[in-house]
Structure 1
Amino acid sequence: MIKLLSNLKIAVPDKIYIKDPESSDLGKRIIQHSIVLIDELGFDSFTFKKLGAKIGSNESSIYRYFESKHKLLLYLTSWYWAWIEYHLVFATFNVSDPELQLSKAIEIISKNVEEDQAFSHINEVALNRIIINEYSKSYLTKEVDSENKEGYFVVYKRLVTRLKDMILIINSNYKYPASLASTIIEGSLHQHYLKDHFRSITDCSETTTPAEYFTHLVLSTLKQTTHDK
């Protein structure tokens, strides 16, 4: 897996950035240390000035890659979902049983993330914490509709569609496959957040994972609706 992924480039919509950060050492340091700082400070307190001081570069050099910290967050979230998609595709490609395939997909999306050695400048564990804590800030904006038209969320939407298609293979008559698919992704982030901060209002814990919960929820729902036909 590591050898295979090392030959792949995670594709992020090119309209999000001005200059591809993967094209230079400075760009990779911008990504590497922005993850560290956002994880440490939170997105609201993060600034390009602080990032510039962290990497020993002028703030203006960061603006050559991203026009705003919002665009940087869009880049990080798109990269994360594309990375998850790669793992999902590899984990499910040769799985013929539809229920097992969907279960594996839910596991990839909902599990605790481990650092991927194929991308040395990106700490996927810290990035996962950012996604859990900050992802909604990438789309809860006044510009979301225009950004959606520009294709900024295409990777995330493609991941939802993959799940939707797996759901329909199990139960082609299920009426709400897209809603269920997006609920799996958004809900897994929310359950991780509750597990870390509001433990009294979730059943997820160190022994019961969000992946277990959503696998049970989804397969039970699909089986029930099949029997109700």
Structure 2
Amino acid sequence: MSTITLQIGQEFYCKDPQSTELGKKIVSEGIQLLDQLGFEEFTFKKLAAKIATSEASIYRYFDNKLKFLVYLTSWYWAWMEYMIDHKTHHINDSKNKLQEILKILCHVDQGHLNMDLSGINTTSLKRVVMIESDKIYLTKKVDEINNEGLFKGFKGLCHKISLVIIEINPEYIYPHALVSMVLETAHQQVFFAKHLPSLTEISKTKTVSIELQVYEFINHFTFKQLH
């Protein structure tokens, strides 16, 4: 199996973590530690201890832990965009293309979670993004982060999917709003099913997977909106 390398812009880091073995280790082990501890408890000091390096060496790659989370989240959306391009380039029918996109976003096919992606545990990354990604924009620094261009991957993916929606219904006036809601809902409903079940009909006790249930809900809602 060949390794897939995703390119993340240099504005996300001080030094490209993919350029050195230490940088790759910071990313791969940082994902695992974020998954284990959560963003609030995660620190570069704890990560440094885990990978037997100095805290200062991590700061050579990332300014702070918020920028590190932004990098990981951007990497996740770049991965989703890669999967969408890879799996839909041959689909000409816009409705079928949108359904395939929704399946990817909901992780209906768990096979891609086992892809060789530069040593990154994509299952852990998915959980980190699901639980922690709202912290990168629900912050006083959101305008600063946006002005630095650090949301461009998320916005680019949102725009790409919105173009498919416009193909399906050119008269629909909320394509970007719909897509951004779908991207958030794909994570929120999984989280609610696992931790706050009274907020959703999605359930981990049903015979079909949570991911398939979330897809069916989002697919139903999206196409209802478009028609």
Structure 2-normalised TM-score?
0.92
* Paired residues for 1:39-118 under 5 Å: 39-111=35-107, 114-118=112-116
- Equivalent residue in structure 1 for 2:157, among 156, 159, 176: 159
Residue 188 of structure 1 deviates from its aligned partner by 1.0
The match for 2:199 is: 201
Residue 145 of structure 1 deviates from its aligned partner by 1.1
Residue 117 of structure 1 deviates from its aligned partner by 3.0
Residues 51-76 of structure 1 deviation map (CA, whole Å, 9 limit, x = unaligned): 00000001111011001011100110
Unaligned 5+ runs, structure 1: 224-229
Write out the 4+ residue segments of structure 1 that deviate beyond 3 Å after TM superposition.
Answer: none
The match for 1:171 is: 169
Cα distance in 1 for partners of 2:171, 2:118 equals: 44
The match for 1:149 is: 147
- Equivalent residue in structure 1 for 2:220, among 213, 216, 223: 216
SS in 2 for 1:186: helix
8 A Cα contact 1:111 1:209, kept in partner: no
Unaligned 5+ runs, structure 2: none
Structure 1-normalised TM-score?
0.91
Indicate the percent of aligned positions where both proteins have the same amino acid.
39
- Equivalent residue in structure 2 for 1:121, among 115, 119, 122: 119
CA RMSD of aligned residues (A): 1.4
Residue 120 of structure 1 deviates from its aligned partner by 4.2
SS in 2 for 1:174: coil
SS in 1 for 2:113: coil
Residues 129-174 of structure 1 deviation map (CA, whole Å, 9 limit, x = unaligned): 0011000011112121122121101000011001111110000000
Which amino acid letter does the alignment assign opposite residue 70 of structure 1? L
Query: How many pairs were matched up?
Result: 219
Q: Tell me if 1:180 matches 2:181.
A: no
Q: Tell me if 1:192 matches 2:196.
A: no
